[in-house]
Amino acid sequence: MASRPRDYQLLCEAIDGLPGIGAQAAERLAEWLVYRGDVGQLSDILTRIKHSEHCKHCNRIQCQQDCQSGDDAARFFVVTSTEMLLEQLSMLVDYCGPLFVLHGELSPANGTGPSQLCMDDLLASVEAFPDASLLVLSSDSVEGRTTAEYIFRRTGRGGERVSVERACEILRGHD
Ligand SMILES: [Zn+2]
């Protein structure tokens, strides 16, 4: 039997290494990408992302400069574990205050520690808002709760771990 093309195999393995995919879905994606998909567009986007700088203040790519300047009396500092949670919050409330996206949650079992989540940058970012209490949007899981507890302990700030809905209530109450 003919062996698989090497780059096809490498692509399968690379996709299989992404969270939440699995070997069979990785196969389907790889085959579609190689033989039917628009690999050029995907490759262009990935190349741009690879060369994008992470903003030290909010930990997102392609952030506008000085994203959090001008409001050092902010009452709240929003931390979300994912871009998706921030997106959900943005759809419900017009929040323009300081924020930070972790892009993950602490999980020793998966090798995700404080440095993978840029916790030092988060601490420095929070420091700039001495009056702000923290609203931490993380999943309702062991990892999500551990992440929130870690942030409260390290920053020494008050606040609470919140759902998107609860964050909206709190933020609206102070409009
Ligand atoms: Zn930023």
- CA 109 – ligand 1 centroid, Å: 29
- CA 156 – ligand 1 centroid, Å: 23
How much is the pLDDT for 1?
66
How much is the pLDDT for 142?
95
- CA 67 – ligand 1 centroid, Å: 5
For the stretch 61-108, pLDDT in tens is 988 777 876 667 789 999 999 999 999 999 999 998 999 999 999 999
Helix 23-35 vs helix 39-50: angle between axes, to the nearest 10 degrees? Answer: 110
Low-confidence stretches of the chain (pLDDT beneath 70): 1, 69-71, 174-175
User: How far is the CA of 88 from the CAs of 3, 71, 129, 167, in angstroms?
Assistant: 45, 23, 24, 11
- CA 63 – ligand 1 centroid, Å: 5
- CA 98 – ligand 1 centroid, Å: 9
- CA 11 – ligand 1 centroid, Å: 32
| Tokens linked to 63 | 């952030």
Domains parsed from the chain with CATH numbers: 6-50 (1.10.8.420), 76-173 (3.40.1360.10)
